[in-house]
C-alpha cells in the first residue's frame, strides 16, 4: 500500500515537470495546463467521503484494489490520448482511482498498530509518498526527455496494475483476518491488550457525518488550515514552480526539476520527524502543527521577497529544502483529528478532513491559472502573495484547533 502511495504522489506533482511537453504536444496554454493539474484534485476531492464510507463499511483492501485498477486504466488512457481533452479525462480517472489509497492505508495502520505510533507511521507513509514526489521532479524530467511523456504513463499503468494485484494478494484489513493463533496476534506491549481492530461501536453513516461536520472547533479549524497549507504546496510544487523558473529566470527543465527535487527531500525528513515529535517528544499534535505552520508561513514570505531579486540556484535549493521540511509538518493534523472521534469512525473522519487539502489544491491551482496568463514576474509574485495570505489564515486556524487525548484515542 505504501508503494502504491508512492505512485499517488508521482501523479500528483508531475504536471509541474511535464507542462512544457504537454504544451508542445497539444498546442495549449498555461491555463489549460492548470486545468489539467486541477482536475486531479477535483476528482480526488469528490471521492473522499465515498472513500471514507467504503473504507469503514466495505473494508480497506477491497476499496483500494477496486479503485487503483481504475487509476491504472487512466494511466493507459493518458498515454494513448489523441487530444488534450482525452488527457484531461485520463487524469480525472487517475484522480478518482488514487483517491482511494491514502484513507484505506491509514485505516489499516490504525487497526494493526498502537495509537501512540499513529503519527510516526503517518509520517513514514507520507515520506514514501514524497519519495514519489521526488521521482516526479528531476528524475521525471530526464525520463520524459529520454523516452517521452507517453511512455512514462504506459510504465505507470503497468506498475499500478501490478501493485493492485499485490495488494489483493498480501494486504489484510485487520490482524483478526489473518489465520493465526491468539498467542501470535500483535499486542500492545505496554498494556498487553490487542491492538485496536476498528470494529467497536459502528456508527451509522448519517450520524457519523453529522458528528464530524457539526463538531465546530474539533473539525473546522483543521479543515481550513489543511485547505491552505496543502493547496499552497500543490500550487508551487505541483504546478507553478517549474514554469516560474522557466519564464522568469530562464532555467531549463533539468535545472528547475533538480531544484524542485529538494522540496520532496525536505518532506522526506520533515514528515516523519513531525510525526515523531507529536508522538514521542512534545506529545502534542497541536503544538507541532502550530510551530510548523508559523515557520512555513515565514518561508512563503521569503519566497515572495526573493522573486525577481534572487536568481542563483543555491539560494533556491536551500529555500526549497526548508519549504518541504516545514511544509511536511501538516502530518499531525491526521492524528489530532483521529484523537477527537471514535475509532469506528476513523475512515470517515479522515476522509472528511482529506476533502479540504485536495479541494485547496484544485481551487487554488485553477484560481492561479487565471492569474498567470503571460508568465510575467508580477503575475507569479501575485500568486506567491496570495499563498502567503492563505498561510496566515492557516496559522490562525492551527491556533484555534482543539486537541484530544492520545491515550484515549
Residue 396: all three cell numbers together: 490562525
Is the CB of residue 157 less than 8 Å from the CB of residue 72?
Answer: yes
Q: How far is CA 14 from CA 84, 137, 232, 390, in A?
A: 16, 7, 16, 24
Rounded to two decimals, the pTM is: 0.74
Is the CB of residue 170 less than 8 Å from the CB of residue 107?
Answer: no
Whole-angstrom distance, CA of residue 325 vs CA of residue 305: 20
Q: What local confidence, expressed as pLDDT, does residue 317 receive? A: 96
How many domains does one find in the chain? 1
| Run of H or E residues at 228 | helix 220-235
Residue 189: all three cell numbers together: 506491549
Residue 393, CA atoms < 13 Å, CB-side half-sphere = 18
Residues in the chain predicted with pLDDT less than 70, given as ranges, are: 15-16, 19, 115, 137-138, 177-202, 405-409
Percent of the chain clearing pLDDT 70 (strictly above): 90
Residue 77: all three cell numbers together: 488512457
Residue 213: all three cell numbers together: 461536520
Is the CB of residue 344 less than 8 Å from the CB of residue 198?
Answer: yes
Residue 187, SS3? strand
For 28, other C-beta atoms within 10 Å of its C-beta total: 16
The boundaries of the domain holding residue 129 are 2-174+212-400
* Closest C-alpha to 182, from 194, 173, 199: 194
Q: What local confidence, expressed as pLDDT, does residue 248 receive? A: 93
What's the count of helices (H) and strands (E) in the chain, helices before strands? Answer: 19, 0
Whole-angstrom distance, CA of residue 91 vs CA of residue 38: 10
Q: What local confidence, expressed as pLDDT, does residue 247 receive? A: 92
Q: Is residue 205 part of a domain?
A: no
Strands (E), 231-347: none
DSSP code for 216: G
Give the CATH number, domain containing residue 119: 1.20.1250.20
- Name the phi and psi angles at 187, rounded to 5: -130, 160
Please measure the distance between the N-terminal and C-terminal CA atoms of the chain and give it in whole angstroms. 24
Q: What local confidence, expressed as pLDDT, does residue 191 receive? A: 40
pLDDT digits (tens, 9 = 90+) for 140-196: 777 777 787 788 888 888 988 999 999 888 878 777 766 655 444 444 433 433 444
Positive or negative torsion for Cα 328, 329, 330, 333: positive
Q: What local confidence, expressed as pLDDT, does residue 196 receive? A: 43
* Closest C-alpha to 137, from 228, 300, 329, 267: 267
Radius of gyration, CA atoms only, the chain: 21
Whole-angstrom distance, CA of residue 250 vs CA of residue 145: 18
Positive or negative torsion for Cα 396, 397, 403, 409: negative
Whole-angstrom distance, CA of residue 33 vs CA of residue 112: 41
Q: What local confidence, expressed as pLDDT, does residue 192 receive? A: 37
Residue with cell 529544502: 321
DSSP code for 184: G
Whole-angstrom distance, CA of residue 7 vs CA of residue 228: 23
Q: What local confidence, expressed as pLDDT, does residue 190 receive? A: 38
Whole-angstrom distance, CA of residue 217 vs CA of residue 13: 31
Whole-angstrom distance, CA of residue 161 vs CA of residue 164: 5
Q: Is residue 200 part of a domain?
A: no
Q: Is residue 316 part of a domain?
A: yes
Q: Is residue 385 part of a domain?
A: yes
Residue with cell 483517491: 99
Whole-angstrom distance, CA of residue 296 vs CA of residue 211: 31
Q: Is residue 275 part of a domain?
A: yes
Query: Exposed, middle or buried by CB within 10 Å (0-12, 13-18, 19+), for 353?
Result: buried
Q: Is residue 141 part of a domain?
A: yes
Q: Is residue 361 part of a domain?
A: yes
Whole-angstrom distance, CA of residue 42 vs CA of residue 325: 26
Q: How far is CA 192 from CA 114, 187, 195, 216, 232, in A?
A: 11, 6, 9, 36, 43
Q: What local confidence, expressed as pLDDT, does residue 188 receive? A: 43
Amino acid at each position: 500500500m505504501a508503494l502504491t502511495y508512492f505512485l499517488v504522489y508521482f501523479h500528483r506533482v508531475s504536471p509541474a515537470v511535464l507542462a512544457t511537453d504537454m504544451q508542445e504536444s497539444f498546442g495549449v496554454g498555461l491555463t489549460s495546463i492548470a486545468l489539467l493539474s486541477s482536475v486531479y484534485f477535483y476528482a480526488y476531492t469528490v471521492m473522499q467521503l465515498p472513500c471514507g464510507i467504503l473504507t469503514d463499511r466495505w473494508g480497506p483492501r477491497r476499496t483500494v484494489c477496486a479503485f487503483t485498477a481504475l487509476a491504472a486504466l487512466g494511466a493507459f488512457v493518458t498515454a494513448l490520448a489523441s487530444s488534450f481533452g482525452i488527457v484531461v479525462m485520463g487524469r480525472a480517472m487517475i484522480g478518482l482511482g488514487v483517491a482511494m489509497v491514502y484513507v484505506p492505508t491509514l485505516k489499516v495502520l490504525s487497526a494493526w498498530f498502537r495509537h501512540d505510533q499513529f503519527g510516526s507511521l503517518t509520517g513514514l507513509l507520507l515520506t514514501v509518498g514524497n519519495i514519489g514526489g521526488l521521482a516526479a521532479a528531476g528524475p521525471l524530467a530526464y525520463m520524459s526527455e529520454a523516452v517521452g511523456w507517453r511512455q512514462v504513463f504506459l510504465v505507470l499503468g503497468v506498475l499500478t496494475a501490478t501493485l493492485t494485484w499485490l495488494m489483493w494478494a498480501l494486504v489484510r484489513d485487520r490482524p483478526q483476518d489473518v489465520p493465526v493463533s491468539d498467542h501470535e496476534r500483535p499486542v500492545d506491549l505496554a498494556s498487553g491488550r490487542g491492538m485496536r481492530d476498528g470494529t467497536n461501536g459502528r456508527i451509522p453513516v448519517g450520524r457519523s457525518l453529522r458528528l464530524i461536520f457539526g463538531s465546530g472547533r474539533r473539525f473546522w479549524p483543521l479543515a481550513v488550515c489543511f485547505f491552505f497549507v496543502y493547496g499552497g504546496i500543490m500550487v508551487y510544487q505541483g504546478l507553478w514552480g517549474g514554469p516560474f523558473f522557466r519564464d522568469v529566470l530562464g532555467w531549463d527543465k533539468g535545472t528547475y526539476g533538480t531544484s524542485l527535487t529538494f522540496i520532496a527531500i525536505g518532506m522526506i525528513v520533515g514528515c516523519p520527524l513531525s510525526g515523531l515529535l507529536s508522538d514521542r517528544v512534545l506529545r502534542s499534535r497541536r503544538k507541532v502543527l502550530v510551530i510548523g505552520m508559523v515557520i512555513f508561513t515565514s518561508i512563503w514570505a521569503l519566497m515572495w521577497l526573493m522573486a525577481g531579486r534572487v536568481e542563483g540556484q543555491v539560494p533556491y535549493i536551500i529555500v526549497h529544502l526548508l519549504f518541504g521540511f516545514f511544509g511536511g509538518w501538516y502530518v499531525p493534523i491526521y492524528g489530532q483529528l483521529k484523537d477527537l472521534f471514535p475509532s469506528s469512525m476513523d475512515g470517515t473522519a479522515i476522509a472528511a478532513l482529506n476533502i479540504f487539502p485536495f479541494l485547496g489544491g484544485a481551487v487554488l491551482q485553477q484560481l492561479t491559472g487565471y492569474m498567470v496568463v503571460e508568465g510575467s514576474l508580477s503575475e507569479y509574485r501575485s500568486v506567491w502573495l496570495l499563498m502567503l495570505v492563505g498561510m496566515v489564515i492557516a496559522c490562525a486556524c492551527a491556533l484555534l484547533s482543539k486537541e484530544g487525548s492520545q491515550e484515549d484515542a
